[in-house]
Amino acid sequence: MEEKKRYDLINFLIKKYNLKSYCEIGTQSRAQNFDKIECAKKYCVDIDPKSNADFIGSSDDFFKQLNRNYDLYFIDASHIAEDVKRDFENCVRHSNNNTFIVLHDCNPLKEEHTIVPRPTERGHWQGSVYKFIIEELHLYYKKYKTVDIDCGCGVWNNSGEDILKDGNYPINNWDSFNANRKELLNLISWEKFVNA
């Protein structure tokens, strides 16, 4: 079977839930993901002018001037947990009743891909996105899932999920995370996700 990518997941959600608007936070190159998204209204944000994004600037600056909500946000800008959390919270503030938020790079396969700050300019790097997932999203939201494709694509939806108040997931080191990643990330296969 062909390996699924983030745009496959995003397009699946758009089609299944009849979503009309899409916003990409962190574009880098429009051809990489943005141009593959099939949605009536699309908008992209990146700090690098070479990205040819619709909004050139930081995601913080983008959200300060945003005066509308989107049906689906894709977060793939800074890969540092604190920044991802801020982007996520900004997306939640600019959400409709059934908005989806998809996060990229939630399931790093190697410890060297998680070093912050980024040690090299090129190559695989998921940063500390997974720490935001296990310390915030999975702990508090029952419906949060990490789909096991394309370095892990997290999916959250604001359709009234229950808040989890129990559970504590202390992760002291990479080995601890690696041994418990399925539970910690609420990891689900593509097949199970699309058939749920």
**Domains of the chain with CATH codes:** 6-191 (3.40.50.150)
Average pLDDT of the residues in 18-43: 97
pTM, rounded to two decimals: 0.93
Dist CA 147 CA 113 (whole Å): 19
Average pLDDT of the residues in 144-149: 94
Q: What's the pLDDT score for residue 112?
A: 86
Within 8 A by CB and 6+ apart from 85, the residues are 132, 136
Query: pLDDT (tens digit, 9 = 90+) per residue, 156-171?
Result: 998 765 555 455 566 6
Tokens read off for 34: 């943005």
Q: Is the pLDDT of residue 17 over 70?
A: yes
The CA-atom distances, in angstroms, between 25 and each of 22, 138, 168, 193 are 10, 21, 30, 23
